[in-house]
Amino acid sequence: MILKRLYDEKLAQASYLIGCSHAGEAIVIDANRDIQQYVSLAKAEGLTITHVTETHIHADFVSGSRELAARSGATLHLSDEGDANWKYSYARDSAAKPLRESDSINIGEVRISVMHTPGHTPEHLSFLITDTARAEDPMGMVTGDFLFVGDVGRPDLQEKAAKMGGTMEAAARTLHGSLGRLAALPDWLQVWPGHGAGSACGKGMSAVPQSTLGYERRFNWAFAAPSEIDFVRTVLAGQPEPPKYFAEMKRINKEGPKILDGFSRPELLDGKRYSEYSNRPHSLVVDTRPAAQFATGHIPGTINIPLNKSFTTWAGWLIPYDRDVYLIADCDSRVDEAVRDLAMIGLDRVMGYFDATVIQSFAEHHGGLGVIAQTAPRELEEWIAQDTARVIDVRGRAEWEAGHIPGVDNIPLGYLADRLSEIPRNKTIVLHCQGGGRSSIAASVLSAHGFANVVNLAGGFGKWESEGLPVEPLSTPALAESEKKKEQIASGS
C-alpha cells in the first residue's frame, strides 16, 4: 500500500493519493483544482489513477475530482447520501458511481470502505482504509471535514453559508451522533483529516497532520462533552465568520466545476494604458504587493490583498465573482501564483496584469499616488480622548468579544464593504486588527471606496494591549496568545 498526503498551505487543505504497488493502481480523495500534482505524483510512484472520490461537497475550494477523473480516465465516485439539497447535480453527466454507507472500492489489495458521517454536511462520507495484504482490519480513516486533529467540522455552514435557515442545531446533533459511531472502531486507527490549522472549516484544529482515534478520544474536546446538549452548545459557540465565497463554492461543487486544463498566465498589459482597463465596467484592480509597499504609494482605487498565506481567503471575501480582475504584481512568478490561488476558489476572470512599474507610470501620467497613514497606540489614545477619529476593529466577532479597545465598534474585514454607510466620511477613520495585517487590507478597501482620511494602527490591538492601554473586557494571556496565532495565520507571517 502507498499513502501520500498532499497539502495546500493557503487552503490549509489535505488530499490523499492511496495506491497498491502490486496492481499499479491508485485512488485520489479530495482533489483540489491543481490536478497536475496528482498526475505527476502517480506517475512518479508508477501508479495509474483509476478512481477519484471526495468526502463531501466542499465549501472552501473548487473540487478537482471531476477534472482529474476526466483527464485520467478514472472512475468518479460521489456521495449519494443526504437529501435533494445535497446531491451532485452533475453526477449523471459525469457517469459518476454513487457511494453510500457500507459500499467499498478496491484498489488492488487496498480496500476503501465507505462510512456515512453527516453533521458537517448531510452527504459527508469518511473512508476506512484497509491494506488487505497485511490485515483485515482498517489501519486508517480519511475523515474529510468530519473529524480533525483536536476539533470537529463545523455544523453551522448549512445555515450560515448555504443559507438554509434553522439547520445548525440539528446538524450539530447529527454530528454528535456520527462521532458516537466511532466507538466501534479501534484506538490504533490513524486519522487523516481534510484540513489543518488556518482553515475556516473548524475553529480549533491542530497543525499536526494526522492523529489516532485513541489520541483524539483522550484529548479532542468533542469526545469529552458530557452530553449532546453540551456538545451542541460548544460546537456552535465561537465559530468564525464563514467567508463569503463559501456559498459560491457550494454551488460550483454541487453543479459541477468547470474544467480548466491548467492555469494560464494572463496578458501583461501596458502600464501607460492603465486607465483604459481599470475604467472598464465591472473591473477591479488588485495590488498583490506587501502591505508596507502599498501603504507608501499605490494607485487610487485599487485594493491591496498581499500575496501571502492569507491571499486566497481574503480574495474570496473581497473579490466579487461577477467582476473582471486585473492584477498588479512584482514579477511573472507572482502572477502565476496569484492566478492559481484565485482559480482554486473559482475566481477565473483574471483578464490581465501589470508589473510594478505601473505605479511610477501612473504617478507620472495621472498625478499623485495614494498612501495609507500609520499611527501608534499612544497617539490613537489621544485621538479617542479628543473624539477626533472613528476607530473600527476589523477582527472577527469572537476576537472582539474576547477583548477590545473601549468604545470601539466591530466590523469584521469581510463585511466592511457591505457596511460603508455606517462609517462617517467627515472624520479620520482608524482601522485595527490584532497585528496590522487585516487592517491594512481594510484600509485599502475604504480608500478604494473614496474615504479620504484612512489610518492604520501599526501593531494593532496586540501592540495597544502590550503598552498597558485600557481593554474591555479584560482579556487573558491565553486569549491574547490565541489571537496572536490567528493574526499570524491571517497575515501570512
Cell of 78: 460521489
Q: How confident is the model at residue 144 (pLDDT cuts 50, 70, 90)?
A: very high
- 271-366 — its CATH code? 3.40.250.10
- Burial bucket for residue 466 (CB in 10 Å: 0-12, 13-18, 19+): exposed
What's the rounded Cα separation, in Å, for the pair 264 and 254?
25
Over 80: is that where the pLDDT of 493 sits?
no
Cell of 58: 466542499
In the prediction, which pLDDT does 486 show?
45
Q: What ranges do the domains of the chain cover? A: 2-255, 271-366, 373-491
The candidate with the shortest Cα–Cα distance to 45, out of 16, 66, 71, 68, is 16
Structural element, H or E, at residue 52: strand 48-53
How are strands ordered across the β-sheet holding 389-393?
373-375, 454-457, 428-432, 389-393, 409-410
What's the rounded Cα separation, in Å, for the pair 192 and 142?
5
For the segment 67-123, what is each residue's pLDDT rounded down to a tens digit?
A: 999 999 999 999 999 999 899 999 999 999 999 999 999 999 999 999 999 999 999
Amino acid (1-letter code) at residue 58: H
Cell of 256: 459541477
Cell of 16: 490523499
Q: How confident is the model at residue 479 (pLDDT cuts 50, 70, 90)?
A: very low
**Phi, psi values for residue 288, rounded to 5°:** -95, 5
Over 90: is that where the pLDDT of 491 sits?
no
What's the rounded Cα separation, in Å, for the pair 196 and 165?
28
Of all residues in the chain, the percent with pLDDT exceeding 70 is 96
Look at 234-248, 303-317, 401-415 and tell me which has the smallest mean pLDDT: 234-248
Mean pLDDT of the 381-396 span: 96
Half-sphere exposure of 310 (CA within 13 A, CB side): 25
Could you please report the per-residue DSSP string of 345-413?
TT---EEEEEETHHHHHHHHHH-PPB--EEE-HHHHHHHHHHT-EEEEE-S-HHHHHH-B-TT-EE--G
For the segment 252-300, what is each residue's pLDDT rounded down to a tens digit?
A: 999 999 998 889 999 999 999 999 999 999 999 999 999 999 999 999 9
The candidate with the shortest Cα–Cα distance to 29, out of 11, 2, 56, is 56
For the segment 97-112, what is each residue's pLDDT rounded down to a tens digit?
A: 999 999 999 999 999 9
Mean pLDDT of the 323-343 span: 96
Residues 6+ apart with CB under 8 A from 203: 151, 154, 238, 239, 240
In the prediction, which pLDDT does 367 show?
79
Half-sphere exposure of 402 (CA within 13 A, CB side): 22
Examine domains 271-366 and 373-491 and report if their fold is the same. Answer: yes
Q: What is the DSSP letter of 290?
A: -
- Fold type of domain 373-491: Oxidized Rhodanese; domain 1 (3.40.250)
What's the rounded Cα separation, in Å, for the pair 14 and 6?
6
Cell of 145: 471535514
What's the rounded Cα separation, in Å, for the pair 307 and 290?
7
In the prediction, which pLDDT does 492 show?
42
What's the rounded Cα separation, in Å, for the pair 485 and 488?
5
Mean pLDDT of the 414-422 span: 96
pTM score above 0.75: yes
What's the rounded Cα separation, in Å, for the pair 287 and 289?
6
Taking CA 124 as the corner, what is the angle to CA 25 and CA 92, rounded to the nearest 5 degrees? 65
Catalytic positions, written as ranges:
433
The candidate with the shortest Cα–Cα distance to 336, out of 288, 400, 291, is 288
For the segment 218-246, what is each residue's pLDDT rounded down to a tens digit?
A: 999 999 999 999 999 999 998 888 899 99
In the prediction, which pLDDT does 238 show?
86
- Fold type of domain 2-255: Metallo-beta-lactamase; Chain A (3.60.15)
In the prediction, which pLDDT does 203 show?
87
For the segment 457-478, what is each residue's pLDDT rounded down to a tens digit?
A: 999 999 999 999 999 986 544 4
In the prediction, which pLDDT does 477 show?
45
In the prediction, which pLDDT does 478 show?
41
Over 80: is that where the pLDDT of 17 sits?
yes
Cell of 233: 452548545
End-to-end CA distance of the chain: 37
Mean pLDDT of the 130-153 span: 97
What's the rounded Cα separation, in Å, for the pair 51 and 333?
33
